[in-house]
Amino acid sequence: MHLQQFYIGGQWVAPSGTARLDVINPATEEAVASIAAGGPTDVERAVAAARAAFPAYAATSREERLALFERIAVAYKKRFDDMAKAISAEMGAPYKHLASSAQSGSGLNHFKAAARALAEFEFEYSQGDTRILREAAGVCALITPWNWPANQMACKVAPALAAGCTMVLKPSELAPLSAIVLAEILDDAGVPAGVFNLVNGDGAGVGAVLSAHPDVDMVSFTGSTRAGRAVMKAAADTIKKVSLELGGKSANILLDDADFPRAVKQGVLTLMTNSGQNCNAPSRMLVPRERLAEVEALAAAAAAKVVVGDPQVETTTMGPVANRAQFERVQAFISGAVAEGARLVTGGPGLPEGLEKGFFVRPTIFSGVTPAMTIAREEVFGPVLAILPYADEEEAVRIANDTVYGLSGYVSSGDPARARAVARRLRTGNVHLNGAPLDSNGPFGGYKQSGLGREWGGWGLEEFLEVKAILGFGEA
């Protein structure tokens, strides 16, 4: 119903131009929708609406915002299945095993986590005679990717709302259907007019304009490191606050006392989740050299359990990668790894057996990978695992840290104290010990070229705040 419209100033409005973009289902390679593509005029309208709404919304009380979050949760639950169906159609996530169970649910979880953080957050406190205030950053540009649409939108929109900010969301043009569902949810929940705005379009027509817009106070971006650099450069002229969640090449260290059957299987299946399209994917498995053959056999057995196919079939556990460009990129990495001398354990180039169309990739594992190989250094963003042998713990840590990225890390050991000690040495924003899951109340973000700032829970809320000191304030 709203495919050809944008949500600006609390209303669904017609775009300024006639440009359209097809939304391709990556499982069928067919268009499932056509959306309006915005441009500078649409951005101007949305930013102006957000700017006009900011003073009143920033002045709302904690209680008013908490009531809003309660309404959002109710509205989201009503549309939960619609969100899952949109995600499955636009990016090929298996409906039962991913789109519904994880993708749609992650969006709701972030709204709940932001509400919990809001309920407890200390926006003001005294430090002697000085009063410290943490105030809304202002008008925010939120630019999100296609790999976890509901998750990435919610972990920006929710804390921005909690902080008292107003915003313009530009989702990926490859996965915009879920954003339209989210806008309908927020409208149904009664988000005040102009507080949330949605403009669809591509990076050049909308994203770059938002990043450079003088009336935008902050840009929160999730995507590739290459695109993150462009966002930073565009924001630099007006010295905007910038938050970036970018790429990764996370190491999964299996220490010699790990439970290898469990750790290898978990590492492989975690990587294959979402067709490997996770910025924190454990894409480098580091194992003791003397256990290499054992690990290869265990990894191949785990990969054989992955069921690749139609996302609408209940038994499917892995769908296609999300678009043609990503498919071609992953295929190039696989061919390149073979050419560089990596040993193919399972999978390889081409479509999986029995599939003749769609952007499906065979679950692929390489072994005998050296730290210098491209497959060990660059983010593939697909279901491709590199197994690297190491001589001792020192070398494992050195290999793990030998990367421009620093988003996540994984350590498995039978000795919790040993696992913790190795985790402290990894230069990453997150470390999972013995398969520990993500924590939506904890901080998520990376070191080095994996980004700036943190998202999720109270840490995400802090990103959307500025700090003010009122000196000589006296007692409150």
- Distance CA(251)–CA(243), nearest Å, equals 24
Q: What is the pTM of this model?
A: 0.97
pLDDT in tens, 275-289: 999 999 999 999 999
Torsion of CA 195, 196, 200, 206, to 10 degrees: 40
Q: Flag whether pLDDT at 66 surpasses 80.
A: yes
Q: Is 135 known to be catalytic? A: no
Q: Could you tell me the domains of the chain?
A: 6-246+464-470 (3.40.605.10), 251-444 (3.40.309.10)
Residue 30 host element (H or E): strand 30-36
**Tokens 């636009």 belong to which residue?**
90
pLDDT in tens, 182-236: 999 999 999 999 999 999 999 999 999 999 999 999 999 999 999 999 999 999 9
The total number of residues written for the chain in this structure: 476
Q: Are strands 130-136 and 139-143 parallel, antiparallel or unpaired?
A: unpaired
| Kind of pairing between the strands at 130-136 and 465-470 | antiparallel
Tell me the CA distances in angstroms from 227 to 76, 145, 223, one per residue in order. 30, 11, 7
Query: b or e along 372-384 (b: 16 or more beta carbons within 10 Å of the residue's beta carbon)?
Result: ebbbbebbbbbbb
Task: Provide, for the chain, the percentages of residues in helix, strand and coil under a 3-state DSSP scheme, each rounded to the nearest 5.
Answer: 45, 20, 35
Using 50, 70 and 90 to split pLDDT, how confident is the model at 1? Answer: confident
Round to whole Å and give the CA distance between 93 and 274: 7
Which member of 90, 173, 184, 245 is catalytic? 245
Q: What residues pair up with 130 in beta bridges, in sequence order? A: 127
Q: For the segment 73-106, what is each residue's pLDDT rounded down to a tens digit?
A: 999 999 999 999 999 999 999 999 999 989 999 9
How does pLDDT run across 155-190, given as a tens digit for each residue? Answer: 999 999 999 999 999 999 999 999 999 999 999 999
On the question of pLDDT at 145 being above 80, the answer is: yes
Give me the pLDDT at residue 341, please: 98
CB atoms within 10 A of CB 65: 19
pLDDT value, residue 193: 98
At 475 the pLDDT is 80
Q: What is the pLDDT of residue 132?
A: 97
Average pLDDT, the chain: 97
Residue-level pLDDT at 375: 98
Instruction: Tell me the pLDDT tens digit for each residue of 237-270.
Output: 999 999 999 999 999 999 999 999 999 999 999 9
pLDDT, tens digit (0-9, with 9 covering 90-100), for 358-388: 999 999 999 999 999 999 999 999 999 999 9
Q: What is the pLDDT of residues 296-329, one digit of tens each?
A: 999 999 999 999 999 999 999 999 999 999 999 9
Q: What is the C-alpha to C-alpha distance for residues 141 and 157, in angstroms, rounded to an integer?
A: 10
Q: Please state the rounded mean pLDDT for residues 34-47.
A: 98
